[in-house]
Every structure is written in C-alpha cells, then in structure tokens.
Amino acid sequence: MRVNNFLAKMEKKYGRYAVRNLIVYLLAAYAVGYVLQLVAPTAYTYLELSPALVMRGQIWRLVTWVCTVPESFNFFILFMFMFQYFIGSSLERYWGSFRYNCYIFSGIFFMTISSMIVYWITGISMTPSTYYINMASFLAFAVCFPDVQVYFMMVIPIKIKWLAIIDAIYMAYEFIAVGQYRNLYAAYGAAGAAYASQLIWATRVSIIVSVLNFILFYFGTRNMKRFAPKEVHRRYAYKKNVKAASPAGGTKHKCAICGRTEKDGDNLVFRYCSKCNGNYEFCQDHLYTHKHFE
C-alpha cells in the first residue's frame, strides 16, 4: 500500500485529532530550550536525549529532547524562528494539518527510536538534534515550492531549491566523511578498528534516519509535486470557474471527506478537484491530500 493511500485512510479516521498550527508549539518548545540554556544550563542538559541515561530511568528525555535548541544562540535566532514559522505554516496549509502532523511526529519518532536502537546494538549514545527536524521541513518545502526566492545571508537572492540541493550535498559529504574515523582510531589496534566501525555505522544510521520522514513522504507518496506553484495555479484556475449549485434551504459547500460545510466556520475554503471523476468538493484540509474518486 502506498504511503499516500495509507495516510488518506488514517486521516478519515483520526484527522480530527490533528494539532493545528503545530509549528507554533514546536517553536515554543525551542524558545523554552533557549531560555533554559541561557539561565539554567544544568537544567537544560536534563532535556537532552541520552539513551544511556534513559536506560537508567530518565525516561522523560524521550520527549523533552524536542525542547533542545536546533542551533547555538546568536543574533540570527529571530530570523530562524520567522523562517521556520513560514515553512511550517506553508506546509500545513498545503498538506492539511493531519499530514503535516504525521510528517513532523514521524521524524521525531524515527530519531528517538533509532537513537535507542543504536545504543542497544553498539553501546554508543547518539544524541538527536532538533536541527534535523527543521532540515526535513526545509527539504519538503523546497520540493513543494522550488522557485520561492529567499535572501541567503540576507543579501544574496537565491531560489530555495538550490539551498536544498546544497544541504543534500553536504549531508552526503557527512555520510562519506565519517569513514575517516578509521584513521583516527587506527593507533588503538583491533579494538580501535572495531569501535571505529561501530561509530561509523551509528553515525551513518543517524544521518539517514534524520531525514527518513522526508524520504518516505517523497518516494512513498510521489505526490509532493502536486503542490508545486504551477500545478497549484493550474488547478486553482480550473476550480475558480466551477460554480456549485445551492439547494433550497441547504448548504452551498460540503467537503466530501469530512462533511464540513461553510456553516462550520467562516475561515473554511472549499474547492473542486479537477482530477476526481465527478463533482466532488473539498475543504482546504483535504483538497490536496484526498484519494481521488475514480
């Protein structure tokens, strides 16, 4: 079963439980981390995910590591918050809250579980970073909106897709470069070589898992391109010309997935899908994520 079909079925059952504006809560968690890092550095260390300490009973670290900071405190932190809010809110608008929730929470889950598994197998404690949560969101945004232009270092105009390619190349370099650990531990003989092999394996697993949610969503659904600006504009232009009949005493719009109408909220937007066989109307949360009716 394709990931897209699985998510569509899950959304029908559990979509109402999705956390709306999830990026706001995620950034609030980062803010808590920054405050603790500045005013109570010792307390901050209790937020980090250390598999070794989790095995000693500090199980709260399985959750609180989401409050750790994605990068060190500096002048550009405010811009990072603004940029991540822009990315997160844009993805949530186009995917819908449920799909965006799945994307973020699956990334957190994969990194948490992989850290514990790596520790159980190798004894090496790999601490995940929220930097990679942001990275996975950035890559997804670049796929959906490749031609969006940003200012690199607030000076150089560049399309987002080129920055994503640079990040992907750098991650590939990191994946290869960890092989140098063999040289660093060569002086310790067979024991050093064995440890180096485990460390290389653990690091490479961590790199792959950090963007595993992106890999699954992209190669599993193959539908992120539907959110590219040209495709969105094409569908919007078509649906803009479709007029819905309004039955006497009834509602004008109704979502074919969740059943919501314009009476359920003033902020709801309804559109028809040009790829469905028939006149099916959807709200903004399901317009781009539903399974097409044959």
Say whether pLDDT at 125 is over 50. Answer: yes
Q: What is the DSSP letter of 191?
A: H
Does residue 163 have a pLDDT over 70? yes
**115 touches 126 (CB < 8 A):** yes
Distance CA 101, CA 83 (A): 18
Amino acid, res. 116:
M
Sequence spans of domains, the chain: 3-227, 229-283
Count of CB atoms situated within 10 Å of the CB of 119: 18
Please say whether the beta carbons of 257 and 234 come within 8 A.
no
Q: Which two tokens stand for residue 270?
A: 């309804």
Lowest mean pLDDT: which of 99-108, 116-125, 174-183, 234-243? Answer: 234-243
Q: For residue 43, give both structure tokens.
A: 């307390």
What pLDDT does residue 67 have? 94
Across the range 212-231, mean pLDDT stands at 66
Calculate the average pLDDT of the chain.
84
Indicate yes or no: pTM above 0.85: no
Contact between residue 61 and residue 54 where contact means Cβ atoms under 8 Å apart: yes
- Give the model confidence (pLDDT) of 241-273 as tens digits: 554 444 555 677 888 888 888 888 777 888 888
**How many other C-beta atoms are found inside a 10 Å radius of the C-beta of residue 145?**
19
The 3-state secondary structure of 103-157 reads HHHHHHHHHHHHHHHHHHHHCCCCCCCCHHHHHHHHHHHHHHCCCCEEEECCCEE
Pick from 135, 137, 153: nearest CA to 145? 137
In 10 A of CB 271, how many CB atoms? 21
Lowest mean pLDDT: which of 70-79, 85-94, 146-155, 222-231? 222-231
pLDDT given at position 227 = 46
* pLDDT tens readout for residues 8-46: 788 888 888 899 999 999 999 999 999 999 999 999 999
At 290, the pLDDT band (50, 70, 90 cuts) reads confident
Instruction: Provide the Cα torsion 95, 99, 101, 107; round to 10°.
Output: -110
- Of 236, 293, 247, whose CA–CA distance to 270 is shortest? 236
Q: What is the mean pLDDT of residues 78-82?
A: 89
* Mean pLDDT, rounded, for 64-91: 89
Kindly state the percentage of the chain with pLDDT values over 70. Answer: 87
The answer, yes or no, to whether residue 231 has pLDDT greater than 60, is no
Residue 245 pLDDT: 47
Query: Whose CA is closest to 252, among 241, 273, 238, 268?
Result: 268
Amino acid making up residue 78: L
Contact present, 231 and 145 (Cβ < 8 Å): no
Higher pLDDT, 7 or 105: 105
